[in-house]
Amino acid sequence: MKIAITGANGFVGAALCRYFHRAGHEIIAIGNCEGPNQNLLKIAEYIPADISRAIPPIDADACIHTAALTSDTDTYKSLIISNVEGTLNVVEAARKCRYFIHISSSSVYQFKDRPLKEEDATIDAALSDYGETRLLAEDIVDLDIPENQKRLIMRPRAIYGIGDRILLPRLLRLVRGNYLICPFKRDIQSSLTHVDNVGYAIELFFGQENSPPVQIFNISDEEPYFLRDLLLQCSRAVKKKQLRAISPPPFLLHMLIRVSSGLYKKNRSQPVLKSFDGNTILDISAIRKQLNYRPVKNFQNSCAEIAGWLDTFGSPENYLKQLSDAPWAVSS
């Protein structure tokens, strides 16, 4: 199968390029820079494209759309252009593909103290600007579907794995000497999604004999994690030493989060801060039932691999200096 993947210079796009190349597929990598990493060019045809403008028709059997602006600190206009108008341009370019897969986000939810189902997403919730534009992008994917095309919308929670340049840097910045500044109480749980589980779910989608024109699924690892324990396990594996978790008072922690993330003056930052106060768990019963989704990748069996990949940079400090290259700083 010939598979086109947008956002190929980013973490998720790069990881899916490698995943489907290993599975024997022909890869067309679409990205927004003229000079991609050489590791990308070893496994894929590369097409530079700015999805904020109309792009040429995509000649492939499937299109996986991962490109998005993922920051809560960007302007609403920038998020609309990238996440909404960009998605429309990719959908239009991929109309002749048999499959269209849109990687959305769990930011379309306002989390509560229960696992959230797909129908819990609503534009009326107090979403961040980012979450709102991801939900608006889903509306585009759900409309005007060509007769011979099947579409899939996936909502992962906190994707991690080899090539990550979002979650891991945030973790490393919480380490101070022998201490881990932990923003979570001991009983706080969250779903996380290993990037290879995303590829696995897409393979299951390809393998369906009969399916509706569009399907929407939450996706995560098999079970949620206690975040305090997970942060300690990961930071110890990376730093190669025992660390002690300390928790600042809530008012101080919230102020530090606002200042460090650029959210201090943004009124719509509250959904981001709330994610530290309660559980953020996805209900994945739908994807289990309809795709027979049984993921084997989890944080426990991939932590050592991630720490080993980080070692290739020489030190965590060198990794933080090379974040732009991180998605393809791995041999395929």
Instruction: Compute how many other C-beta atoms are within 10 angstroms of the C-beta atom of residue 324.
Output: 12
82 or 277, higher pLDDT: 82
- As a whole-number percent, the residues of the chain with pLDDT over 70 amount to 90
**Residue 151 near residue 213 (C-beta atoms within 8 A):** yes
Picking from 38-47, 66-75, 85-94, 133-142, which range would have the lowest pLDDT averaged per residue?
66-75
Tens-digit pLDDT profile for residues 138-149: 999 999 999 999
Q: Which fold has domain 2-328?
A: Rossmann fold (3.40.50)
| Dist CA 214 CA 98 (whole Å) | 12
pLDDT at 66 over 50: yes
In sign, the C-alpha dihedral spanning 130, 132, 138, 140 is negative
Listed ranges 120-124, 185-189, 193-197, 235-239; the one with the highest mean pLDDT: 193-197
CB count, 10 Å around CB of 168? 24
CB 30 within 8 A of CB 3: no
Place of tokens 């494209």: 49
Helix residue ranges per DSSP H, the chain: 11-22, 38-41, 76-79, 86-93, 129-141, 167-172, 195-206, 227-239, 250-261, 270-274, 285-291, 299-311, 316-321
Distance, in Å, from the CA atom of 72 to the CA atom of 49, rounded to the nearest integer, reads 24
User: What pLDDT digit, counting tens, does each position of 243-265 carry?
Assistant: 888 877 766 666 655 554 444 44
Angle 11-22/195-206 helices, nearest 10 degrees? 50
pLDDT classification of 267: cutoffs 50, 70, 90: very low
Q: Please, which residues have CB within 8 angstroms of residue 112's CB and are 6 or more apart in sequence?
A: 278
CA distance 207 to 263: 43
Contact 326, 165 (CB under 8 A): yes
Q: Hey, how many other C-beta atoms are within 10 angstroms of the C-beta on 226? A: 15
Q: Is the pLDDT of residue 332 over 80?
A: no
CA quadruple 88, 55, 326, 108: dihedral, nearest 10 = 0
